Amino acid sequence: MTITMLPPLSPQRVHDENALPAAAGGADFGPLPEWDLSDLYPAPDAPELTRDLDALERACAEFARDFEGRLLSLSPTKMLECVERYQQIDILAGRIMSYVGLRYYQNTTDAARAKQMSDLQDRITDATTKLVFFSLEFNRIPDARYTEVFSAKDGPARYKPVFDRMRAMRPYQLSDELERFLHDNSVVGAAAWNRLFDETTAGLTFDVDGEQWGLETTLNLLTDHDRARRETGARALAAVFGKNVKLFARIHNTLAKEKAVEDKWRQMPTPQTARHLSNHVEPEVVEALRNAVTKAYPRLSHRYYALKARWLGLDKLQVWDRNAPLPGETPRLIAWPEARSTVLEAYAGFSPKLAELAQPFFDKGWIDAGVKPGKAPGAFAHPTVTTVHPYVLLNYLGKPRDVMTLAHELGHGVHQRLAAGQGELLSATPLTLAETASVFGEMLTFRALLGKTTDKAQRKALLAGKVEDMINTVVRQIAFYDFEVKLHAARAEGELTPEDINALWMSVQAESLGPAFEFMPGYETFWTYVPHFVHSPFYVYAYAFGDGLVNALYAAYEDGLPDFQSKYFDMLAAGGAKHHKELLAPFGLDASDPAFWDKGLSMIEGFIDELEAMEN
């Protein structure tokens, strides 16, 4: 367990190269909201920020003075005091880094913002080095003593799930000196390479018909109604990714090697082990998910894309056709007020409480929606700390998929608000469950729109869009996971050239997308900008986990499971206090059952069945 160094963002929702919708240059979506970060600090030079930095440094020094070398002898009451003081330090550090991190993500090319984030991260790293002893010494407490202290009525029993997860790292714990070194070195290790990646991708420009466009708007051409425009966007992306591929290969080589070195010292059995431990999920559960999805490729993505090729009148799909609008689908840009009302009404249809929890995001400056130079790409929800509230970042460009992204990120935000009641240490949800509320929010919004649609062509377009989103969330993410597995295995054998990484990428693309596709020269470099591979290795399976889980949950909801809404809110409010088995038991679900994943995949198949039936 470590103090947060960077904002604990839910990883950016860039499922793939078509994750965001097509833009219309200069379109008027109505006033788009911007963040009001004053709930964290009034300004970057605010005295409150200086005060909290000083308080953090004092709190770390006093914590080490009072508890280092004494954890084994603490009474239950004293252990509770120790844990709660640690939690307050976590809140202080999280508040500071949330503020400077969110300002940085608003404009990653602003040198002053980047400098402040780097300087404060250095300062907080120095202060919290004094706390490295805590998890190391705690994990040396014998099991019998640990059980005694954490089962006492006047002790820290409610925090036991946090420390159970921490103690799962015991077999992989290094010496105190090495752990301190890794802590101190973090700011010039992965964090520095992450920053290089962020600033590089934010600064890329693409030549589109003689105009220089940013990454977001160029990516969004890939869902344009005009096929020539989609091809222009794809080729512009390929040209720039190709020019920068050596830098991105260096970033991936370095991060994969750094991870391999640390994993070797910790004696982690696989590169994925650390992610599974942090997710509090068993490797066999992830493997069952992965196997169920790859087995389903022919009846999901291969089948759907063959259908889409017929709709488009093509013998083969090109990569720029994958998320193309359907023939006859009317182009429509959705103004921000309509997007807002669409999502809130869908949420309210499930429960007024859900809409009430989402409402303040729109009213109080908790969303930053516009596309701006230097702004981080994609979308995310950041919980900040439990004493404040989450913030949502979007790059809103007015297409239906943007509305779904809004529904998705608000789901995260609502989840984070509900889980905040657990307190800082218990609020964080393992990534396998962190996508539950977001994907459920999308499903509610989709079902609400589908229920209002009587026109056959519009219904077909909605269903096709949902199938494509689900394929992106399930099939593509498992393909991404396989790419990472291959990448880290290959890096263990030596330095990877850009061509080596390109080949690994294309191997999973062909397998997952199927025979309906041809791949243009240059597509082999499209791994370069996907942020998950850099920021959160092996995160991507959490999207597929969340989609399968939500499909099973939604089936229980449609079947009229008694008290579903109250059970759902209880699950979200649990945060990280319960294991996925406990959380799913009230719904009669068990993710460790291999058949569980087939239930979720069958919902996607059902939508494809309906689309095929429309052909007759």
Q: Any idea what the CATH number is for the domain that residue 85 is in?
A: 1.20.140.70
Which of residues 26 and 499 earns the better pLDDT score? 499
Under a CB-based contact definition with an 8 Å cutoff, are residues 430 and 278 in contact? yes
* Cα(378)–Cα(396) distance, integer angstroms: 9
* Cα(264)–Cα(252) distance, integer angstroms: 18
pLDDT value at residue 327: 86
DSSP three-state, residue 93: helix
pLDDT value at residue 235: 97
Range with lowest mean pLDDT among 249-253, 255-259, 550-554: 550-554
pLDDT value at residue 598: 87
258 lies in some domain: no
Residue 2 has pLDDT above 60, yes or no: no
pLDDT value at residue 7: 41
Residue 20 has pLDDT above 70, yes or no: no
50 lies in some domain: yes
Cross-strand partners of 213:
206
Residue 587 has pLDDT above 60, yes or no: yes
Which of residues 452 and 46 earns the better pLDDT score? 46
For 79, residues 6+ apart whose C-beta sits below 8 A from its C-beta are: 71, 149, 150, 155, 156
What number of other Cβ atoms are within 10 A of residue 167's Cβ?
A: 18
pLDDT value at residue 440: 95
Q: Are strands 391-393 and 367-368 parallel, antiparallel or unpaired?
A: parallel
Residue 266 has pLDDT above 50, yes or no: yes
Per-residue pLDDT tens digits for 284-332 = 999 999 999 999 999 999 999 999 999 999 999 999 999 899 887 777 7
pLDDT value at residue 19: 36
- Mean model confidence pLDDT for the chain: 91
| DSSP-H helix ranges across 474-516 | 475-491, 498-513
Domain count, the chain: 1
pLDDT value at residue 399: 83
pLDDT value at residue 289: 93
Q: Model confidence at 616, in pLDDT bands (50, 70, 90)?
A: low
């946090």: which residue's tokens?
Answer: 162
Q: Which of 122-136, 479-493, 544-558, 598-612 has the highest mean pLDDT?
A: 479-493
289 lies in some domain: no
Under a CB-based contact definition with an 8 Å cutoff, are residues 252 and 507 in contact? no
Please give the average per-residue pLDDT across 555-583, as a whole number.
93
Residue 94 has pLDDT above 60, yes or no: yes
134 lies in some domain: yes
40 lies in some domain: yes
Please give the average per-residue pLDDT across 235-250, as a whole number.
97
For 469, residues 6+ apart whose C-beta sits below 8 A from its C-beta are: 401, 404, 442
88 lies in some domain: yes
Q: Model confidence at 176, in pLDDT bands (50, 70, 90)?
A: confident
Residue 230 has pLDDT above 90, yes or no: yes
Under a CB-based contact definition with an 8 Å cutoff, are residues 101 and 385 in contact? no
Residue 21 has pLDDT above 60, yes or no: no
Dihedral pair phi/psi, residue 436, rounded to 5°: -60, -55
Residue 178 has pLDDT above 90, yes or no: no
Per-residue pLDDT tens digits for 54-70 = 999 999 999 999 999 99
Instruction: Give the single-character DSSP code of 386.
Output: T
pLDDT value at residue 9: 42
* Cα(414)–Cα(481) distance, integer angstroms: 27
* Cα(373)–Cα(199) distance, integer angstroms: 12
How is the beta sheet containing 391-393 ordered, strand by strand?
367-368, 391-393, 380-382
Which of residues 509 and 1 earns the better pLDDT score? 509
Per-residue pLDDT tens digits for 330-372 = 777 899 999 999 999 999 999 999 999 999 999 999 999 999 9
128 lies in some domain: yes
Cross-strand partners of 359:
none
* Cα(591)–Cα(597) distance, integer angstroms: 7
390 lies in some domain: no
* Cα(202)–Cα(376) distance, integer angstroms: 6
Find the domain containing 144 and state its range: 27-188
pLDDT value at residue 156: 97
pLDDT value at residue 16: 37
Q: Which two structure tokens, joined as six digits, stand for 452?
A: 């209002």
pLDDT value at residue 27: 60
For 145, residues 6+ apart whose C-beta sits below 8 A from its C-beta are: 72
Question: CA 221: distance to chain centroid?
Answer: 23
pTM: 0.83
